[in-house]
Amino acid sequence: MIKKILIILFFSFNANAALEVTIAQGKVEPTPIAITQIFGADSDTARYGNTLRQIISNNLTNSGLFYTVNEDLYIQSDNLVEKVPRFEDWKLIKAQFLLSADVSKIDKGIRLRMRLYDVFNAKEIEKLQLTIPDENLIRRVGHTVSDIVYERITGETGYFDTRIVYVSEIGPLDQRVKRLAIMDQDGHIDSHQFLTDGKNMVLTPRFAPNKQLITYMEYKNNLPRVYIYNLKTGEREIVGDFPGMTFAPRFSPDSQSVVMSFSDPNNAANSEIYLMDLNTRSRSRLTNDSGIDTSPSFSPDGEKIVFNSDRGGSPQLFIMDKNGDNIKRISKGRGVYGNPVWSPRGDLIAFTKLTQGNFHIGVMDLNGNNERVIVRDFALESPAWSPNGRYLIFHRQKRSNLDGTGGEVTIHFIDITGYNERIIPTPRDGSDPAWSPLL
């Protein structure tokens, strides 16, 4: 795709000066990268090499910014870790970048060496050597190498060495069994793990910035309350042990507090936003209004909170200070807004909007300006940011029918430009995805 814009062109007829030309258009399409075989001297290291190559190739392709040039076209088949590539050979097949690597066994584990080349500029642009103490870490190493390549070429932070926590769903739509589950960002089955057994319904898991904890809502003994799951110990602990429903939890950026909704029976079960300090277990009330206040999400600097409220009639988006002061409505468009999530870069709010019979997932500036729809369908929910603020994941549910069919729900990935949507595979249906920070 070539974007059309007005061209401003400067040039000079002075014979002694260089011709001046401004280039103000280009192609926004995946950049071709060649990835050589990742060489290993024996069957184990060759197998690690294959796995690594597959992980790196999938990650880069899935980002939408790269595609891997078909191996059959490669002219040079050497290990290019120590040997300088014949750049002309790679130029001929139009690979703009070239990655080569090898794996070998050493005393302390497995050694990986990698080289990244800029083919058209004929130079090495990145090199890496690392020791992998345990073969169980191969997938993580594949993600880490992908991050290094992505960061070197795009200039922005990677996101591959991350995990997604979500709700795995199975069963009839009126009796769904919902379990917490976690997997690598690519959804690879080898990385997939259930965290709860499905006995109690669980909803809306979210990662702590410290990567160790997940906060979520669980119906234990039919009491819907906010809990924390410790990924290291597997322990579950109630944090919203209030005399009424607690829900919609999210961590503060320092992982020391959880902001959530509480429906107080002494307040007509109207949902207000509370902050719970995890160290002191003291709670403070942030909102006080006769409307529903829910879905709070902190700004990355911890100073402000965006949330969902129907205080003006229909559900809209508002921003307040972290202590509840200075509440301002930001959503401006028509429709019913929900699910606001502050981007990790701090500059955008992702949200859902229901209008004209469809859900939309979009982004807007902090003052509500420049609202932009990214994806639209019958039922979309739970936008969550990639840690580099460049992608969103969300879930999409199909219409259901009176006979119980339909209603399938799947997790999707999309570039915030609206391009490159794809499904993140899960063994069963999946909803409420949330992204970990970079590990």
Partner 1 sequence: MTISEIDLLRQQLHGCLNLNVGVANLKEIKPVIYIEVNPDRTVKSSKVVNKEKLNDPSFRTAAEAAMRAVNNPDCSPLLLPADKYEQWKEINFTFDFSWMFD
Partner 2 sequence: MLMVAGFFLASCAATKTDQGGDVDAASASASSSSGGEITAGTQEDLIVNVGDRVFFEFDSSELTVDAQATLDAQAAWLMQYPDTNITVEGHADERGTREYNLALGDKRAFSVYSYLAQAGIDTNRMEYVSWGKERPEVIGSDETAYSQNRRGVTLVSN
Q: Give contact residues for partner 2 (rule: CB under 8 A).
A: 172-176, 201, 203-204, 217, 222-224, 244-245, 247-248, 261, 263, 265, 268-271, 292, 294-295, 308, 310, 314-315, 336, 338-339, 352, 354, 378-379, 381-382, 399-404, 406-407, 432
Neighbours of 275 (CB within 10 A): 20
Instruction: Select from 236, 171, 160, 244 the least CA-distant residue to 205.
Output: 236
- C-alpha triplet 289, 314, 332: angle, nearest 5°: 105
Instruction: Select from 395, 323, 387, 328 the least CA-distant residue to 361.
Output: 395
Residue closer to partner 2 by CB (options 19, 402) is: 402
402 lies in the site for partner 1, by CB under 8 A: no
Please state, in angstroms and rounded to a whole number, the distance separating the CA atoms of residues 103 and 397: 43
Name residues whose C-beta falls within 8 Å of residue 75's C-beta, 6 or more positions apart in sequence.
86, 89, 90, 92, 93
- The partner in contact with residue 339, picked from partner 2, partner 1, none with C-beta cut-offs of 5 to 8 angstroms by kind, is partner 2
Min separation Cβ 125 and partner 1, Å? 8
Residue closer to partner 1 by CB (options 82, 124) is: 124
Min separation Cβ 395 and partner 1, Å? 24
CB of 305 within 8 A of CB of 259?
yes
- Chain Cα centroid distance, residue 195: 20
Please state, in angstroms and rounded to a whole number, the distance separating the CA atoms of residues 276 and 225: 13
Residue closer to partner 2 by CB (options 125, 201) is: 201
Residue closer to partner 1 by CB (options 26, 357) is: 26
Stretch that binds partner 1, among 23-31, 108-116, 130-138, 305-313 (CB under 8 A): 23-31
What 8-state DSSP symbol labels residue 137?
Answer: G
Q: Is 272 left (phi over 0), alpha (psi -120 to 50) or beta?
A: beta
- The partner in contact with residue 94, picked from partner 1, partner 2, none with C-beta cut-offs of 5 to 8 angstroms by kind, is partner 1
Please state, in angstroms and rounded to a whole number, the distance separating the CA atoms of residues 308 and 268: 19
Instruction: Select from 339, 439, 341, 343 the least CA-distant residue to 388.
Output: 343
369 lies in the site for partner 1, by CB under 8 A: no
- The partner in contact with residue 29, picked from partner 2, partner 1, none with C-beta cut-offs of 5 to 8 angstroms by kind, is partner 1
Min separation Cβ 295 and partner 2, Å? 5
Q: Which of residues 39-68 bind partner 1 (CB under 8 A)?
A: 65-66
Q: Which of residues 103-132 bind partner 1 (CB under 8 A)?
A: 118, 120-121, 125
Min separation Cβ 294 and partner 1, Å? 31
Amino acid found at 19: L
The residue ranges that bind partner 1 (CB under 8 A) are: 2-3, 5, 7-11, 13, 15, 17-29, 31, 65-66, 91-92, 94, 96, 118, 120-121, 125, 153-156, 390, 415, 417
